[in-house]
């Protein structure tokens, strides 16, 4: 699978571990930075990964910051991105099965690397339960625009 990865300084080390794991598993990885632990602003990498997914350069994205929260908030501003913050295996599984999450967000400062890589494995291997209620609900998300109903 083609996967775009990105991080800020707070997620740089875990992003490197994620990239290594994905490459070992035979995935094609596009690394959109950052490339050191120098301070950076997470919305920039979130935008880069979101655009890679929306443009079809990547089928999935992985974003890492200190908590995962900023990346998730920023990535979900991009229509068509379904970014899931996954601190547990179950979040990753359900994010794929029910929400068809196309971007995984994790927090390097809150999730140990072994656990994060196990979460990544679940995210990469769990299919969406397509059709039926989950598809209908995602359709409703995708038809949302603006802040009013
Ligand atoms: C950076 O210090 C930190 O705020 C960032 O990595 C992230 O956790 C934001 O949500």
**Three-state SS sequence of 28-52:** EEEECCCCCCCCCCHHHHHHHHHHH
Q: Among residues 27, 98, 134, 144, which one is catalytic?
A: 98
pLDDT at 101 over 60: yes
Nearest CA to ligand 1 atom 8: 66
Q: Specify the pLDDT at position 146.
A: 57
- What are the tens digits of pLDDT across the range 40-59? 999 999 999 999 999 999 99
List, for residues 61-84, the tens digit of each pLDDT value: 999 999 999 999 999 999 999 999
CATH 3.40.640.10, applies to 2-89+121-143: no
State the pLDDT at residue 1: 98
Task: Please tell me the residue having the least CA distance from ligand 1 atom 7.
Answer: 66
C-alpha 129 to ligand 1 mean position (Å): 32
The reported pTM is 0.96
Q: What is the pLDDT of residue 149?
A: 42
CA-based Rg of the chain, rounded to a whole angstrom?
14
> Quick check: is 65 catalytic?
yes
148: pLDDT strictly greater than 80: no
Residue 119 gets the label, from left (phi > 0), alpha (psi -120 to 50) or beta, of: alpha
Q: Whose CA is nearest to atom 4 of ligand 1?
A: 66
The C-alpha atoms of residue 122 and residue 102 are separated, in whole angstroms, by 13
Task: Report whether residue 10 contacts ligand 1, using a CB cutoff of 6 Å.
Answer: yes
- The yes-or-no answer on residue 134 being catalytic is no
Boundaries of every domain in the chain:
2-89+121-143
42 lines ligand 1 (CB under 6 A): yes
């Amino acid at each position: 699978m083609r996967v775009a990865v990105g991080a800020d300084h707070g997620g740089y080390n875990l992003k490197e571990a994620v990239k290594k794991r994905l490459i070992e598993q035979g995935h094609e990885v596009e690394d959109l930075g950052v490339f050191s632990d120098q301070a950076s602003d997470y919305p920039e990498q979130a935008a880069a990964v979101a655009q890679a997914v929306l443009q079809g350069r990547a089928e999935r994205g992985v974003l890492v910051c200190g908590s995962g929260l900023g990346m998730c908030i920023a990535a979900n501003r991009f229509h068509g991105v379904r970014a899931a913050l996954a601190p547990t295996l179950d979040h990753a599984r359900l994010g794929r099965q029910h929400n068809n999450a196309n971007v995984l967000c994790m927090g390097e400062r809150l999730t140990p690397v072994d656990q994060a890589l196990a979460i990544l494995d679940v995210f990469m291997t769990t299919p969406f339960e397509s059709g039926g209620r989950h598809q209908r609900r995602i359709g409703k998300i995708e038809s949302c625009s603006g802040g009013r109903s």
